[in-house]
Structure 1
Amino acid sequence: MPAQLDFALNHMATPRLNCREFLDLAASLGCIGVELRNDLADKRLTDAAFFDGEAPEAIGAYARSNGLRLLGLSEVYGFNAWSDAMRARVQLLIDQAGRAGAELISLIPRNDAPQYGEGEREEALRRSLGEILPMLDKAGLIALIEPLGFTSSSLRLKADAVAAIEAVGGKARYRLVHDTFHHHLAGEKEFFPEYTGIVHISGVVDPVLTVEEMRDGHRILVDGRDRLGNVEQIRGLLSLGYGGPLSFEPFSPDIHALDNPAEALRNSMDFIRDGLA
């Protein structure tokens, strides 16, 4: 294990905090960086606009003044259903990332159980990645692809994402999100450390849920009850050479309602450190 784990926070961990409060929290916990989200209002977790209505430059500068990297901006949902409207959404997030000084943007596949004919799923993914690639080249930016392990997902496996990236010659501009929750749901065994740009951490502890019943709302902070094997997944990635950020992304309303999220996050960090020691 490295001497120090590079923990980070996704704004989903504490959506009740505004951007500056969230950045202050991450800095107080010794995080290396953060991920900001444009979908918190859509999910009815805040009434605030993206960047709290401030200029992206101002929030990016505030992050750096706290010693934090602005690791990424999330998200463009349904990127693998290409259209002119999707191009505009991708370009908007790229532009916002450039203004804020973010290192990455996140691309999320359709999760509405789309029906594909023979080869259509792979063709749709390759087309979207091929269309986005020159946009990333022009901006000098990296895009994260996050396979979703739900059975309704149009892209469940990281292996399929890697195959599409290589098919469009996109290795310089695309990376994967290794999400411990979705990795478990998909039943995928292979890790892709050389393609992994960030790891998303959350745990599920409900003992009666089947894997098929697990949903975002069950995702809490990782502790000794975890059923997803977070420590084992992280150990595996580290042993294969991954050295990037480990970003907390709990979706559970119980976590969002915590009066003292700093203590809970610190306890989870300690648990992971101890488990890897």
Structure 2
Amino acid sequence: MPPLDFALNHMTAPALNLDAFFALAVSLGITKVEIRNDLDGNAILDGTTPAEVKALAARHGVTIISINALQRFNEWTPARAAEAKELIDYAAAAGARALVLVPKNDGTGQADGERQANLAEALAALKPMLTAAGIIGLVEPLGFEICSLRSKREAAEAIEAVDGEQTFRLVHDTFHHHLAGEPDLFAALTGLVHISGVEDADVTVPAMRDGHRVLVGPQDRLGNISQIKALATAGYAGPLSFEPFSPSVHDVIDPRAAVAQSVAFIRENI
């Protein structure tokens, strides 16, 4: 099995500014990072220019593997197109490799036929924009029951339908994979894996939410270890990016020690 390739999403330690976040990653021996556009008081929302982000990444020796994310990407409107262009331009200028594409998650657009048409429209519109910028679009199905794109198979079929295999990849999120209950992995089309665990013994799977997502450890209920093993066996050798949303992780005094402990646990069990 190839060595595990860990990455760090800024959601792991959202209180850190970008400089401190990059330093945290490097201190863990991690050189691949994901930055976000949904953290108040931080890049990108604080007005930090992409040139500043690119210079900061170069100074720390890290690669920005994605900007996370274009929300509601499969609800294609003139406003969404403008937002997509802005984010794609920012990603390219910042030296980011990809843009995560997150579907609408509010109970709308779920009807059979409607959701596939919406997805096809969005991918067809995004493809030339991403191609021109040299940016990969990372499609991330969400496992929540109210999500308009839960199935990786549906996403894979839509990517194939727009001849988009050179432009788009799937995100395999271990949390959302567990919630969706879809067995297929699509390792060859996967460009990024998000990892997080759920340890709350009382919450039912349908009731699991982002706030339950902690670092992967021995009490994990999502089967992260088996998912990572299965992906590797199927040929995936890309980044495993930590993406915990729980305040219990965000509030830890020493995030480096917490992530290092999770890295060690995963390595020992793979």
TM-score normalized with structure 1 length: 0.95
Are 2:215 and 2:249, in contact at CA under 8 Å, matched by a contact in 1?
Answer: yes
Query: Equivalent of 1:244, from 238, 242, 245?
Result: 238
User: What is the CA distance between 1:203 and its match in structure 2?
Assistant: 0.2
Change (3 A) 1:210 1:59: same
One-letter code of the match for 1:274?
Answer: E
Q: Is 1:32 equivalent to 2:31 in the alignment? A: yes
Q: Is 1:255 equivalent to 2:254 in the alignment? A: no
Secondary structure of the residue aligned to 1:53 is coil
Are 1:15 and 1:256, in contact at CA under 8 Å, matched by a contact in 2?
Answer: yes
Query: Equivalent of 1:93, from 80, 87, 108?
Result: 87
Greater mean deviation of Cα atoms: 52-61 or 127-136: 52-61
Partner of 2:155: 161
Are 1:136 and 1:142, in contact at CA under 8 Å, matched by a contact in 2?
Answer: yes
Are 1:6 and 1:32, in contact at CA under 8 Å, matched by a contact in 2?
Answer: no
Partner of 1:44: none
Superposition pairs for residues 113-132 of structure 1, below 5 Å?
Answer: 113-132=107-126
**d(CA) in 1 for partners of 2:48, 2:112:** 46
User: What is the CA distance between 1:213 and its match in structure 2?
Assistant: 0.8
- Cα distance per residue 1:173-209 (max 9 Å; x no partner): 0001100000000001111111111100000001111
Q: Is 1:76 equivalent to 2:70 in the alignment? A: yes
Partner of 1:171: 165
User: What is the CA distance between 1:150 and its match in structure 2?
Assistant: 0.2
Partner of 1:231: 225
**d(CA) in 2 for partners of 1:115, 1:190:** 23
Partner of 1:145: 139
- Cα distance per residue 1:85-104 (max 9 Å; x no partner): 00001101100011100000
- Cα distance per residue 1:115-168 (max 9 Å; x no partner): 555511101100110011111111121110000000000000110100100111
Q: Is 1:196 equivalent to 2:190 in the alignment? A: yes
User: What is the CA distance between 1:49 and its match in structure 2?
Assistant: 4.8
- Cα distance per residue 1:201-238 (max 9 Å; x no partner): 00000111110010000000010000000011000011
Structure 1's unaligned 5+ residue stretches are 42-46
Are 1:20 and 1:62, in contact at CA under 8 Å, matched by a contact in 2?
Answer: yes
Query: Equivalent of 2:97, from 90, 97, 103?
Result: 103
One-letter code of the match for 1:184?
Answer: H
**d(CA) in 1 for partners of 2:219, 2:119:** 36
**d(CA) in 1 for partners of 2:112, 2:265:** 45
**d(CA) in 1 for partners of 2:173, 2:111:** 28
RMSD of aligned alpha carbons:
1.2
**d(CA) in 1 for partners of 2:143, 2:87:** 24
Query: Equivalent of 2:260, from 243, 250, 266?
Result: 266
User: What is the CA distance between 1:58 and its match in structure 2?
Assistant: 1.9
Q: List, as ranges, runs of 4+ consecutive aligned residues in structure 1 with deviation greater than 3 Å.
A: 115-118
Are 2:7 and 2:241, in contact at CA under 8 Å, matched by a contact in 1?
Answer: yes
Partner of 1:63: 57
**d(CA) in 2 for partners of 1:85, 1:22:** 31
Partner of 2:210: 216
Change (3 A) 1:54 1:208: same
Secondary structure of the residue aligned to 1:58 is helix
User: What is the CA distance between 1:67 and its match in structure 2?
Assistant: 2.2
Are 2:193 and 2:240, in contact at CA under 8 Å, matched by a contact in 1?
Answer: yes
Change (3 A) 1:208 1:49: same
- Cα distance per residue 1:44-63 (max 9 Å; x no partner): xxx33517433212222221
Greater mean deviation of Cα atoms: 56-65 or 169-178: 56-65
